[in-house]
Structure 1
Amino acid sequence: MPSSTSEQCHDLAVIGAGPAGLAAADAAAALGLRVALLDAGARLGGQYYRHPAPELGAARPEKLHHGWAAFARLRDRLTANPLVDHLPGHHVWAAEAGEPWRLHATRGPEAGDRATVLARAVLLATGAHERHLPFPGWTLPGVVTAGGAQAMLKSGLVLPGRRIVVAGSGPLLLAAASSLVAAGARVPAIVEATSYLGYARGLPVLVGNPGKLAEGASHGARLLRHGVRLRRSSAVVEAHGTDRVTGVTVARLDARWQPVPGTERRIACDALAIGHGLVPQLDLAVELGAETVAGPDGAAALKVDAQQRTSVPGLWAAGETCGVGGADLALAEGVLAAHSVAGRPAPARELTIRRRRRAFAALMAAAHAPGPGWTRWVTDDTDVCRCEEVPARAVREAVEALGAADARTVKLLTRAGMGWCQGRMCGPAVACLSGGPLGRPDSRPLSCPVPLAQLADPDA
């Protein structure tokens, strides 16, 4: 297949087909804009609305989702709208600002699997990825992320195991455990590192978001019916097994997330679903020089104004790229961004949703921010960077013996973060072990792996 450059210049290119991207493309097309909707996935929905492939014959895919009806309406409208060009399987690896913008995407491994899309404006709706905090045994087969366990269920109708411990921190744990037990798995415990007391300081915010309370209550009721125990202020500090995880050690944590000696307890399981929240996916934006802000949990997010405009002219952002806050917020911000691009007044309903959900997002991030003491459960032999097999010992030696003062220097000295994932899995952990904040991700000219033949294509 030859590489291609679209001759048509779209009014708006939306990168990402999750909630924010779908809502933005739908609203922009309704306002008369010609829209290109690019996404690495094969089907609309992104990570949040991930669903089984048709050949799997899922009878009721809506049962795997919260808010499926909203997705179905957006999908049907977008599919039928002639102003929307859906470009699946397009992983955008670089964006060139200008008049027009040029978006470069890879569609596969061959030399000709390259495409360039032109647009007068660009909206980033690239979502977020999970934050990983390593511990002894986290590389064992059967240890997956909480979001990964949900993805396996939503897209493949499979479970990572039959007896699954769900651990980490953040509301995703409740949603993941609820989905797993509904699919027939046994969850002996949800191990939450925080105490939930942080939410008590934001009572007015909770009152202003009754939908979030109802959603949490729904998950809680299901988990209660299945006898799932919630262990607060606790963490999995080690996973056990040889060919596969067979159990985990859980310990109580103090207020700084340091394990309390003598509180360890072992729980048998054949899978562990673990996650410590989400961090915005900012690769494209950072390379373009877009300004970022640090959230209450230390994660960097794009800085946008009241109209969802970034600091880069012609570049808008919506959803998790502006700070993790859930699907309702992403949908609202997508609509607001589309109206801004079209030069139309912002809808009052979406403005209200954004205000309330952003307040809840800040409360949630503060309540589940990792404490500094989590590094105490990382032994020197624990691999921090899985791709390059860099142990914590090497990172600590780089800081203590070689004088590394930041994550970038540690990376240069140890190769932590230089592997296939480009630091997406180990970046937050390396930053913390280096003694610094999570901070802004590194600027990279390529936001994903690209075959050399595509980069060398003289016709692109």
Structure 2
Amino acid sequence: MDEPRIVIVGAGPAGVRAAEVLVAAGLRPVVVDENQRAGGQVYRQPPAGFVRSKKQLYGFESAKADALHRTFNKLRSYINYLPETLVWNCDGRQLDLLGRGQHQSLPYTHLMLCTGAIDRVLPFPGWLLPGVYTLGAAQVALKAQGCVIGSRIVLAGSGPLLYLLAYQYAKAGADIAAVLDTASFAGKLQATFDLLKQPLALAKGLYFLAWLHCHGVKVVEGVEKIAVKGEQKVETISWHKDGREQTLECDAVASGFGLRSETQLADLAGCAFEFSQLNQQWLPQRDQAGRSSVKGVYLAGDGGGIAGADAAELAGRRAALALLEDLGKTIDVGESRRLDRTLQRIQGFRRGLERAFPTPVEWARECADEEIICRCEEITAGELRHAVNHAGTVEMNRLKALTRVGMGRCQGRVCSAAAAEILACSTGKSLAEIGRLRGQPPIKPMPVAAGAAASPVRETS
């Protein structure tokens, strides 16, 4: 391959803006995306023929969503676009793809990973009942299927998405019975200084909260011990506030405790990782421009660290400029510096969000032994603690080997955060000290028949 073969994984805000920069420089990247249409999660587009307007779908962000969609539509003739295609492995400068039931291999010289994020799942009693969703899944239902998850809905957990989704659902006509936030008002107040570094974003969040209050939506902050009950499906949700238990009838619950970066492809591509105190997660190393530790592999957007859609667009442009520079092309140094300064300022705001919406520190200590942590393999918290107490396990991959946690269909994408919290709490070590689950192909579920037709993949210890 004498000419650069550039592949962008993900057509969300970061991937679209990266493609825009590369096309403007005369290159023709390949853009691979799991979704049917570009936009990512935050600007997810509904199927053709959907009747709700972008203003109804995206609210304040409708102009940004429309701009991103229009940009991508203009790029379609200048890129090789592979929608509805899963990248399930990366090995030897080659990607393994599954698109519409067909397997193919795609070699590259340069790889841009814009893989986005997933909900941080912390199990609670009743979380496996029908009618319990993640916040992200509930948002997908609204945007992509044009429906809500129930007739009387409770949103529980923490993070900015909690209030955004409550606002979006209420605006769509859903009955929001309550918003239960594990973060306290005092913690949010303490984070005000950092949050003021992006006053517009802060103002939007305050507007969502005020709108919910004005429209009679019950908002409870500082809740503990969330539990869902029901015989065959969700019937009630309970929580503790100031030492008192409260119960509410509902038929659907959406929960989430912040977001986690999707890092599996970066791992398989050979990127070095380091623990991020800000994200409370192991993340691939990258410089300010988005270059990873592997030559020719770049990271942009929430897949390299949670920062939001605005930052993802900027990071996509910045990483594309770095790629062009590495190809020996002339770039606008002034733009690079402006992007660096803006992204640095956004990191200050991100620190404020973590202070305002922290992961519940008491969760791992209070999680009951019988609670299922890994739903694929039906591994309980008690089994994880047993591996610590009776086998002396102090490392995540050793825990996986002994208990099979993270060996199921999700490959640890859903359960690893909770399992890590249990292990850290049980050993008295930090999340950084217990390590991380190594990435394994396929990074997401795929049909057995497609896997059998695929080329062999390397074994990873």
Query: TM-score surpassing 0.5?
Result: yes
Give the 5 Å matches for 1:113-128: 113-128=102-117
Q: Could you say what secondary structure the match of 1:419 adopts? A: coil
Name the CA shift for 1:351/1:69 in 2 (closer, same or farther; >3 Å): same
Distance 2:456 2:281 in 1: 36
Which amino acid counterpart does residue 440 of structure 2 have in structure 1? R
Q: Report 1:121-160 matches (<5 A).
A: 121-160=110-149
User: Following the alignment from structure 2 to structure 1, what is the Cα–Cα distance between the partners of residues 156 and 371?
Assistant: 18
User: CA separation of 1:223/1:401 partners in 2, compared to 1, >3 Å: closer, same or farther?
Assistant: same
Instruction: Tell me whether 433-442 or 237-246 shows the greater mean CA deviation.
Output: 433-442
Could you tell me how far 1:126 is from its partner in structure 2? Answer: 0.1
Letter in 2 for 1:345: D
Q: Which moved more, 1:262-271 or 1:317-326?
A: 262-271
1:440 counterpart residue number:
436
Query: 1:289 is matched by which residue type in structure 2?
Result: G
Contact 1:239-1:249 at 8 Å conserved across structures: yes
**Per the alignment, do residues 62 and 103 of structure 1 end up closer, same or farther by CA in structure 2, a change over 3 Å counting?**
farther
Name the residue aligned to 1:95.
90
Distance 1:305 1:413, change over 3 A: same
Task: Quote the residue 2:328 is aligned against.
Answer: none
Question: Which of 151, 158, 165 in structure 2 is aligned with 1:176?
Answer: 165
1:48 aligned to 2:42?
A: yes
Q: Is the 8 A contact 1:295 1:365 kept in 2?
A: no
Q: Cα distance, 1:151 vs. partner?
A: 0.9
Residue identity opposite 1:12 in structure 2: I
Aligned to 1:194, the other structure's residue is in SS state coil
In structure 1, the gaps of 5 or more residues are 1-6, 253-259
User: Quick one: distance in 1 between partners of 2:91 and 2:455?
Assistant: 17
2:80 aligned with 1:85, yes or no? yes
CA distance in 1, matches of 2:196, 2:227: 38
Give the superposition deviation at 1:93.
Answer: 1.8
Q: CA separation in 2, counterparts of 1:306 and 1:364?
A: 21
Cα distance change of structure 1 residues 456 and 291 upon mapping to structure 2, 3 Å threshold:
closer
**Pairing 1:337–2:337 present:** no
Residue aligned with 2:17, SS: helix
Q: CA deviation at 1:227?
A: 1.1
Q: Quote the offset at 1:281 in angstroms.
A: 0.3
Query: Residues 9-35 of structure 1: CA distance to partner in whole angstroms, max 9, x if unpaired?
Result: 654211011111111111221222211
User: After superposition, what is the alpha-carbon deviation per residue over 1:427-457, rounded to whole angstroms, capped at 9, x for unaligned?
Assistant: 1111111125175342324323453323248
Distance in 2 of aligned mates of 1:413 and 1:337? 40
Instruction: Provide the C-alpha distance between the structure 1 equivalents of 2:392 and 2:197, rounded to a whole number of angstroms.
Output: 48
Q: Match of 2:97?
A: 105
CA RMSD of aligned residues (A): 2.2
Quick one: distance in 1 between partners of 2:108 and 2:455? 23
Partner of 1:255: none
- Residue equivalent to 1:272: 253
Q: Which residue of 2 aligns with 1:453?
A: 452
- Tell me: CA distance 1:377–1:181, structure 2 relative to 1, closer, same or farther (3 Å): farther
* Partners of 2:366 and 2:51 in 1: CA distance: 41
Query: In the aligned structure 1, how far is the partner of 2:437 from the partner of 2:15?
Result: 22
Query: Which structure is higher in helix share?
Result: 2
Q: Is the 8 A contact 1:187 1:228 kept in 2?
A: yes
Secondary structure at 2:442's aligned position in 1? coil
1:239, 1:248 within 8 Å by CA — same for their partners in 2? yes
Any residues of structure 2 matched to 1:406-425 within 5 Å, and which? Answer: 406-425=395-414
- The one-character-per-residue Cα deviations of 1:22-55 (angstroms, maximum 9, x if unpaired) are 1111122122221111111111112221122114
Aligned counterpart in structure 2 of residue 283 of structure 1, from 261, 264, 272: 264
Residue 426 of structure 1: which of 412, 415, 422 is its match? 415
- Structure 1 residues 171, 378: closer, same or farther in 2, change over 3 A? same
Corresponding residue number in structure 1 for 2:53 = 60
Change (3 A) 1:370 1:78: closer
TM-score (norm 1): 0.89
Question: Residue 228 of structure 2 aligns to a residue in which SS?
Answer: strand
The yes-or-no answer on 1:308 pairing with 2:290 is yes
Structure 2 unaligned segments of length 5 or more: list them. 326-330
Give the fraction of aligned pairs with identical amino acids, expressed as a percent.
32
